[in-house]
Structure 1
Amino acid sequence: MNYHLKQLVLIIIITTTITLKINAGNLNSSLSDDFLNQCFNGDEFDCSSKDIEKIPVPLFFSTGNSIKFAYNKISDLDQQLTDNGNVIKIDFSMNKLRNILESAFSNLTSVEEIDLSHNQLWLFDSETFTSLSNLKSLDLGFNSINFVDSDLFRESQKLTKLCLNKNSLSVIPEEAFEHLTNLEELDLNDNQLKELPDNLFRYNLKLRTLHLSGNNFISIPSNGLKEIPNLYLLDLSRNRFTRLRYPAFEKLSKVTVLRLDGQNELRSIGPHTFQGMDRLTYFYASDNKNLRFLDSKAFLDNKTDKPMQLSSFVFRHNSVTTLSGQLLDWSKVGMVDLSGNPWNCDCNLDWMIQLEMPNELKERVICDHPLYLKDRSVFNLTSEQFKCSFLFNHEFTIIGTILLIITISMIMVVFLYIVVKLLPCSKFRNPFRKNYGYSKVKVSRKGKNYDLEWDPALGDPNN
């Protein structure tokens, strides 16, 4: 009896559960339209931050010019979105998207901007964006993309901005961007790139802004950049350069803004490094913790023997101790920031107090050496306080010479010890003396001993 009663109870529980699920499903279906209607706000459909895991019904957007499902938990975009031809912007950022239906955007022909950043996308169907002939901005940043297929953009000739930052790109095919003839801004920050194909940008003649920060370049990819005739801003921050020297930038004549921030391995910038950058106006090189040397001729044109005319020179939080007054024509540099460097306030730096800088920046230009000026602002010193003594100017030479003398002396002591202790103690035969067959004998005469050489044929020498 108990057995049959348990079976009956189990059947009732299962039946009740199924019924509840069916009713819940019907309830969700009936509520979904009302729920989505709450997202409409004038010209905008905004269902952001509502913990949505799945778009509940096929969507038709009869009004509005934007669709937003940002900050949700959607993993699959498996619905075809349809509108009345007015939607301009689509935002599915900050979700968990892994898959997008091939035809998800096929009916949204008026769309100009799509944001799919901060998801888990790694592969796209080649037809995903083909119907979006009016697309101008595409953000695919913060995903897991490791390959760029040129077919993905074959109908995107109007695209002006493409973001592929924070992905897993280590290689970019030469033909990747060949269809993007109107591309103006490309963001490839924070990938794993080591080089660029020589002809990568041969069709991107309108490209003006290129972000290559946070990659693995060990040298300037000048051959890959030379095809860009109108490049205005180039960001090469946070790469793996150890030193920069001529002719690294010679082919980048149109670059106006150059960023070299956060180079943890960069140690020196040599003479004429920026030779050929005829339009360079804004220079940023900050937070390079191992950068200790900037050559006085780094910005000197070796053809005209004149420094470049910069409007902005931001050079803060590096490890450079001194800077040449001949580096630039400082009177023509509008914005100068030299804060956060361990300045050696000797006679080579007295020119700096003539610089025009905002007071808040002047307070951060601090002496690190000599000790009697440590932690004092450069701009609070007088020209007489910037002194150079012989010892101070030659301290490294003197210390090096002393160390060399000590090292040589120690080597000589060790060598003499080996000669005295390890070679056999014996009398050396004179190599120039001929041997006539004499024998060495000891002779005693009147209490004194003598060592003689004696011919044995003459008998005993003691007799």
Structure 2
Amino acid sequence: MLSLVVLSIAFGSALAVTNNSNSPFCKLCICSWNHEGTYTNVSCTKPIPNYAFENSSWIENDSNKPYEYTAVSFQNNHFNNLSYVFPRSNLIYFNLAHNDIFRISDSVFRNLQNMVVLILSYNDLEIIHPDAFKGVYMETRYEPLRSLKELRLDHNKLHTLNQDMFEHTTDIEILDLSHNPIEIIDDHTLLAIDSLAFLKELYLQYTELKTLPDNLLHTPKYLKVLDLSGNTRINKIPDTIAQAGNLEKLFLNNTGFINLTQESGFPKLKNLKVLHLCRNQHLSHIEKHSLCNLVNLEELYLCDNIDLTYIDPMALALPMKSGGSSVWPPIKKLYIGNNKLAYLDSDIIARWDSLSELDIRDNPWTCECENQWLIDDLVPRSLKINENMTKEIRCAAPIEMKQYTFYDLYEKKSHMRCLDMYGATPEKDAAILVGVLAGVLITIPVILFLLLAYQRRWFSVFGFCDNSPAAYSRRFYKASATDDNF
């Protein structure tokens, strides 16, 4: 990201010590600079509203030249209505996060013509007037902030953007609108974003969006990074993503996806290299050919999906028009940890030996013959990538295998048993089987005894089970007493 590059330049050779020079900010804040005394970086985390707006804090009195500030950060100031026009400065990085700003007046940044990064995160901005970013006069451009490339507006209260908001900052490459209650990208917001022809990174995570409007990504043809994470109302791939032909990274974490099928899957994104599909609580199936249009995908993150039970072995495979063969993307990093996967097919990716990173931990793996290839083929490769991580992969079923890790089975060269054709698991039926056997062993002697007793009329003594003529007569006639006299 551009801001990281700027910060590395600004802070890379700096010594993080408190400055005792004549620079006014360095008497109140923490400053750092390089060995030559240039590239001064100012960090003010305590309120200094009066000093922040004084010309003498920015301009040398004797020479009337701006102090050599490269990066300036003001935090925890209650600026509220930011109406002060900052004096001339050569700063590159300007951080105004956490300052309770709810309004920005016209042209307040016009003298910061070397500013590449402007951070306005974590404020109370609801509406930003387009002239807030007005610069100075130029013959070839309309009063631009000519160097601004990265604008961070995340964690504010923006519902919409003025359609002319970026008319002075048309060279913006990174725009962060995340954590704003946008909900719907209306026509004004659509026109504002479409005016950024050189946009490379767009962050819209946690903005309560349900989808993206048509043609949103048509104009910014250089877009490489798109983040839609945290929008739980998005339950299918927005159609307009197909217009982002140069997209390289796509983040769709914590969305409302349930199943990904060939029909609801990804459009053709031939340049996409990184895909994040994590923390999607309702995602349960990734079906055949649902990811097949991502032909150059190198990194796939499918982790922490608590309902994900099935990934089709042909999910990534692109069927060729001629013949029955298919083509798989060149996956180098695969993260499928902490899902609900019990089985994994070896055909999901083409070259397991090409992986440089792999994580399949925290899945309820069934340790039986269908997963034997995980022990024989994948574990030795995974050990070379990350030994400690590999040793944490455990069996979850059958019950007698729960004590083992994949590494234990690999070390023992174990050959796991196969379930029968009906998927039966006898180990779970042990108590029932013992009970049935005991019942059989007890019942057979009892039946034999009853048959013998019946044949010998042992029960006739009690009048049970005796249907003989003699028994019938005895029901009506009682024997005479032994002392009767005849």
TM superposition score category, shorter chain reference: 0.7 to 0.9
Q: Which residue of 2 aligns with 1:368?
A: 396
CA deviation vs aligned residue, 1:125-172 (integer Å, no higher than 9, x gap): 111113213211111111111112331112222211111111112112
Q: 1:178, 1:352 → 2: CA distance?
A: 48
Give yes or no for the alignment of 1:51 onto 2:56.
no
Q: CA 1:383–1:175 in structure 2 vs 1: closer, same or farther (change >3 Å)?
A: farther
1:384 shift after superposition: 4.4
1:288 shift after superposition: 0.6
Which amino acid in the other structure matches residue 423 of structure 2?
Answer: N
Determine which of 81, 93, 96 is the counterpart of 2:86.
81
Structure 1 range deviating more: 128-137 or 374-383: 374-383
Q: Which residue of 2 aligns with 1:136?
A: 149
Q: Which residue of 2 aligns with 1:97?
A: 101
Q: Which residue of 2 aligns with 1:106?
A: 110
Question: Where do 1:357-396 residues align within 5 Å?
Answer: 357=382, 358-381=386-409, 382=412, 384-390=414-420, 393-394=423-424
CA deviation vs aligned residue, 1:205-255 (integer Å, no higher than 9, x gap): 111111111113433334211111211000111111011111411322221
Q: 1:314, 1:43 → 2: CA distance?
A: 40
How many residue pairs end up in the alignment?
365
**In structure 2, the residue corresponding to 1:103 is in which secondary structure?**
coil
Give yes or no for the alignment of 1:291 onto 2:308.
yes
Which amino acid in the other structure matches residue 81 of structure 1?
Answer: F
Structure 1 range deviating more: 245-254 or 60-69: 60-69
Determine which of 124, 133, 139 is the counterpart of 1:120.
124
1:43 shift after superposition: 4.4
Q: CA 1:360–1:270 in structure 2 vs 1: closer, same or farther (change >3 Å)?
A: same
Q: Which residue of 1 aligns with 2:63?
A: none
Question: Is contact 1:281-1:312 (8 Å) kept?
Answer: yes
CA deviation vs aligned residue, 1:412-439 (integer Å, no higher than 9, x gap): xxxxxxxxxxxxxxxxxxxxxxxxxxxx
Q: Give the TM-score normalised by the residue count of structure 1.
A: 0.73
Determine which of 244, 259, 275 is the counterpart of 2:260.
244
Q: Which residue of 1 aligns with 2:230?
A: 214
Q: CA 1:337–1:312 in structure 2 vs 1: closer, same or farther (change >3 Å)?
A: same
Question: Is contact 1:249-1:274 (8 Å) kept?
Answer: yes
RMSD, aligned CA? 2.6
Q: CA 1:378–1:34 in structure 2 vs 1: closer, same or farther (change >3 Å)?
A: closer
Give yes or no for the alignment of 1:38 onto 2:46.
no
Question: Where do 1:23-422 residues align within 5 Å?
Answer: 38-39=27-28, 41=31, 43-44=39-40, 46=42, 48-52=44-48, 57-59=53-55, 61=58, 62-65=66-69, 66-84=71-89, 86-131=90-135, 132-173=145-186, 174-247=190-263, 248-303=265-320, 304-329=325-350, 330-353=352-375, 354-355=377-378, 356-357=381-382, 358-381=386-409, 382=412, 384-390=414-420, 393-394=423-424
Q: 1:113, 1:293 → 2: CA distance?
A: 43
Q: 2:91, 2:354 → 1: CA distance?
A: 49
Q: CA 1:78–1:218 in structure 2 vs 1: closer, same or farther (change >3 Å)?
A: closer
Q: 1:316, 1:331 → 2: CA distance?
A: 19
Q: CA 1:55–1:141 in structure 2 vs 1: closer, same or farther (change >3 Å)?
A: farther
CA deviation vs aligned residue, 1:337-391 (integer Å, no higher than 9, x gap): 1011010111110000211112112112110000111041123215644111327
Q: Which residue of 2 aligns with 1:448?
A: none
Question: Is contact 2:23-2:67 (8 Å) kept?
Answer: no
Question: Is contact 2:124-2:156 (8 Å) kept?
Answer: yes
**In structure 2, the residue corresponding to 1:150 is in which secondary structure?**
coil
Q: CA 1:320–1:278 in structure 2 vs 1: closer, same or farther (change >3 Å)?
A: same
Question: Is contact 1:185-1:207 (8 Å) kept?
Answer: yes
**In structure 2, the residue corresponding to 1:83 is in which secondary structure?**
coil
Q: 1:137, 1:218 → 2: CA distance?
A: 27
What are structure 1's unaligned runs of at least 5 residues?
1-32, 400-463
**In structure 1, the residue corresponding to 2:196 is in which secondary structure?**
coil
**In structure 2, the residue corresponding to 1:331 is in which secondary structure?**
helix
CA deviation vs aligned residue, 1:280-318 (integer Å, no higher than 9, x gap): 111001011111111122112222324333111110000
1:176 shift after superposition: 3.0
Which amino acid in the other structure matches residue 153 of structure 2?
Answer: L
Question: Is contact 1:217-1:240 (8 Å) kept?
Answer: yes
Which amino acid in the other structure matches residue 256 of structure 1?
Answer: K
Q: 1:34, 1:391 → 2: CA distance?
A: 80
What are structure 2's unaligned runs of at least 5 residues?
1-21, 32-37, 59-65, 136-144, 430-486
Q: 1:285, 1:374 → 2: CA distance?
A: 24
Question: Is contact 1:258-1:284 (8 Å) kept?
Answer: yes
Which amino acid in the other structure matches residue 172 of structure 1?
Answer: I
Question: Is contact 2:107-2:134 (8 Å) kept?
Answer: no
